[in-house]
Amino acid sequence: MTLRVHLGFNPAPAMLERLRELLSDQAITLSQGVEPDAQASYEILISGRPTRELIAASPNLKALIVPWAGLPRHLRETFAEFPQVTIHNLHHNAAATAELATTLLMAAAKRVVPIDQALRKGNWRARYQPATSLQLDGSKCVVLGFGEIGKRVARACKALGMSVTAIRKREREEPRDALSPDLIASVEGSGNSMRELLHEHMRDAHALIICLPATPETEGLIGADEIALLSPEAVMVNVGRGSIIEEDALFAALKSQRIGGAGIDTWYLYPRTEEERANFMGWTQPFHQLDNVVLSPHRGGHTTRTEPLRAEHLARMLIAHVNGEALGNQIDLNAGY
Tell me the catalytic residues. Answer: 241, 276, 298
Backbone angles phi, psi at 225, to 5 degrees: -65, -40
Q: What are 140's strand-pairing partners?
A: 163
CA distance 256 to 285: 14
User: What's 23's DSSP letter?
Assistant: H
Contact predicate 214/221, CB 8 Å? no
Contact predicate 266/241, CB 8 Å? yes
Contact predicate 220/153, CB 8 Å? no
Tell me the residue ranges of DSSP E strands in the chain: 3-7, 28-32, 44-46, 63-66, 86-89, 140-144, 163-168, 183-186, 207-210, 235-238, 261-264, 293-295
Q: Strand 261-264's sheet: what is its strand order?
A: 183-186, 163-168, 140-144, 207-210, 235-238, 261-264, 293-295
Q: What letter represents residue 63's amino acid?
A: A
Q: Which residues contact 253 (CB under 8 A, 6 or more apart)?
A: 224, 227, 228, 259
